[in-house]
Amino acid sequence: MKYLVKLVVVMFAAVLSLGAISTASADKLKVGFIYIGPPGDHGWTYAHDQGRLMIDNMLGEHVETTYVEGVPEGPDAERAIAKLAETGHKLIFTTSFGYMEPTLKVAKRFPDVKFEHATGYKQADNVATYSARFYEGRYVQGQIAAKISKSGIIGYIASFPIPEVVRGINAFMLGAQSINPDMKVKVVWAYTWFDPPKEADAAKVLMDQGADIITQHTDSTAALQAAAARGIYAFGQASDMIQFAPDTQLTAILDDWGPYYVKRTVDVLMGTWSSGDTWNGMGPGMVGMAPFTNMPSDIAMMARETAESIRTGAFHPFTGPIYNQAGELVVAAGEVAPDFPMLATMNFYVQGVDDKLPE
């Protein structure tokens, strides 16, 4: 993927030198970002900010980037997004699910501005959506957890019961079951993306219930550190968090937004941007895994092999037979769950998840 990006950038530079586009330093393209947390969360927002910095590094001569951090998913979001549009930003990335309606509202008011909404499902002529197949990494984590757990209970800190999160829990469960069919996953719904004390509390509740491995779908390093304090293993989320828990992190799902951000920015510069939906995984490099640490080498080897077979497309985490909690067969043996509608709108648990989906 990175080579692809470099190629795009080189092509772009070539076009520029031909004089197809003239960008004086005075009229650089302004690209804006709306963040749910601070870039210092070392998780979700940090990963998006790394993507922003990649734009700076590769296109800094033609592009200027800006971000607004800690924008709540409520009445304030629309104002912050509109403020970026009003201040001359022509490409705006809104990086949390709850920005969907405000992004669409502002997009209506600023038809000449391009918007990119992460993890949403509503597009418009000037609103594209993008997300990553995090569930691919979840499956690998599930396998590792099942190999390492002694209690057979995994604690899962979930944020909101939306398809993206439910998909992650299911992929994790399927990965764990592929090693040990009796594995249990306990879920705590935190109803927040970023709230370190709440995330840590959720981890403690799960550990008190016997979980000896913690994984999370929230943005900070708090849960990982809570696990470290009790001396059990855990997974990082969205970024490599190893520096916060060197003896605890088994691996982390890495979000690599940079190449996509660079490509979309180049699209705007060249006038070839168009709306659409992008959903990439390990294959194109939007999802990666942090080094497999704190585990025996045979388990690391297994994890690497699983990740590799997912990356090459040889294996899909949602390969049947898959049963729902009621025991009904939802994906037949040997078949792969389709993106639409099943994966995109997933609102059921697979068999074995020790939780009731909030209704």
Partner 1 sequence: MLRLEPRSTQSFAAAWLSPVMALVLTAITGGVIFLAMGKDPSTALYIYFVEPLTTTSGLSEVAVKAGPLILIGIGLSFGFRAGVWNIGAEGQYIAGAIAGGGLAVYFHDSESTLLLPAMLVLGTLGGMTWAAVPALLKTRFNANEILVSLMLVYVAELLLVHLVQGPWRNPQGWGFPGTRMFPDVAIMPLLFAGKRAHLGTLITLAIPFIAWFILARTRFGFTVRVFGSAPLAARHAGVHSHRMIWRSLLIGGGFAGLAGVIEATGTIGQLMPDISPGYGFTAIIVAFLGRLHPAGVLLAGIAIAVTYIGGEGAQISAGLPKAVTGLFQGIILFYLLAFDLFTRYRIIVSSRTTE
Q: What's the closest the beta carbon of residue 131 comes to partner 1, in angstroms?
A: 12
Q: What's the closest the beta carbon of residue 184 comes to partner 1, in angstroms?
A: 23
Helix axes 100-109, 75-86, angle to 10 degrees: 40
Across the strands, what pairs with 188? 157
- CB nearer to partner 1: give 12 or 134: 134
- The binding track of 337-356 with respect to partner 1, each residue x by CB under 8 A or -, is --------x-x---------
Q: Could you say whether residue 28 binds partner 1 (CB under 8 A)?
A: no
Across the strands, what pairs with 128? 116
For the stretch 29-45, what's the b/e string if a residue is b when 16 or more beta carbons lie within 10 angstroms of its beta carbon?
Answer: bbbbbbbbbbbebbbbb
- CB nearer to partner 1: give 66 or 325: 66
Q: Could you say whether residue 53 binds partner 1 (CB under 8 A)?
A: no
Total residues binding partner 1 (CB under 8 A): 35
Residue 320, Cβ neighbours under 10 Å: how many?
15
Residues 156-185 close enough to bind partner 1 by CB under 8 A? 160-163, 166
Task: Report the C-alpha dihedral over residues 238, 171, 176, 286, rounded to 10 degrees.
Answer: -40
- The binding track of 111-150 with respect to partner 1, each residue x by CB under 8 A or -, is ----------x-----------------------------
Contact 245, 234 (CB under 8 A): yes
Long-range contacts of the stretch 181-185 (C-beta < 8 A, 24+): 181/352, 182/152, 183/142, 183/145, 183/146, 183/149, 183/152, 183/154, 183/352, 184/152, 184/153, 184/154, 184/352, 184/354, 185/153, 185/154, 185/156, 185/352, 185/353, 185/354, 185/355
Helix (H) or strand (E) holding 37: none
Q: Could you say whether residue 67 binds partner 1 (CB under 8 A)?
A: yes
Q: Could you say whether residue 29 binds partner 1 (CB under 8 A)?
A: no
With tokens 């920015």, the residue in question is 265
- CB nearer to partner 1: give 26 or 314: 26
Q: Could you say whether residue 324 binds partner 1 (CB under 8 A)?
A: no
Q: Could you say whether residue 257 binds partner 1 (CB under 8 A)?
A: no
Q: What's the closest the beta carbon of residue 297 comes to partner 1, in angstroms?
A: 40
Residue 299, Cβ neighbours under 10 Å: how many?
18
- CB nearer to partner 1: give 123 or 180: 123
Choice from 38, 284, 320, 352 touching partner 1 (CB under 8 A): 38
- The binding track of 70-99 with respect to partner 1, each residue x by CB under 8 A or -, is x-xxxxx-xxx-xxx-xx---------xx-
Q: What's the closest the beta carbon of residue 163 comes to partner 1, in angstroms?
A: 6
Cα gap 125→276, rounded to integer Å: 9
Q: What's the closest the beta carbon of residue 77 comes to partner 1, in angstroms?
A: 9
| Neighbour order of strands in the sheet with 287-289 | 287-289, 249-255, 233-238, 213-216, 153-158, 184-189, 353-354
Q: What's the closest the beta carbon of residue 216 comes to partner 1, in angstroms?
A: 19
Residues of the shown chain interacting with partner 1 in the complex, contacts defined by CB under 8 A: 32, 38, 66-70, 72-76, 78-80, 82-84, 86-87, 97-98, 101, 109, 121, 160-163, 166, 191, 345, 347, 358-359
